[in-house]
Amino acid sequence: MKHFLKYTLSWVSQNLSVPFWMVGHIHLMTSIYADIHEILMSLGMNIIVAAGFIHDFIEYRKEKLNK
């Protein structure tokens, strides 16, 4: 299960980072956050993407150091 969750985190961060950030930034520029729910959802999506990038970087470093 641990490997599946790591794979899922990695997949989400790689495939959904651009849509999350593009929609989020366009949304931030065109509307005013009046609802804490929207702020928390945006923050949560960015945290998921950032965690995936960090995880992928750590795995990449491990591979490079082992060669």
Mapping DSSP to helix (H, G, I), strand (E, B) and coil, where does residue 13 land?
helix
C-alpha to C-alpha distance for 7 and 38, rounded to whole angstroms: 27
pLDDT at residue number 50: 84
48 neighbors 6 (Cβ within 8 angstroms): no
pLDDT at residue number 31: 62
pLDDT tens-digit profile, the chain (67 residues): 888 888 888 887 777 777 766 666 666 666 665 667 777 777 787 788 888 888 888 888 888 888 6
C-alpha to C-alpha distance for 55 and 9, rounded to whole angstroms: 8
The structure tokens 């899922």 sit at: 8
C-alpha to C-alpha distance for 39 and 24, rounded to whole angstroms: 10
pLDDT at residue number 42: 75
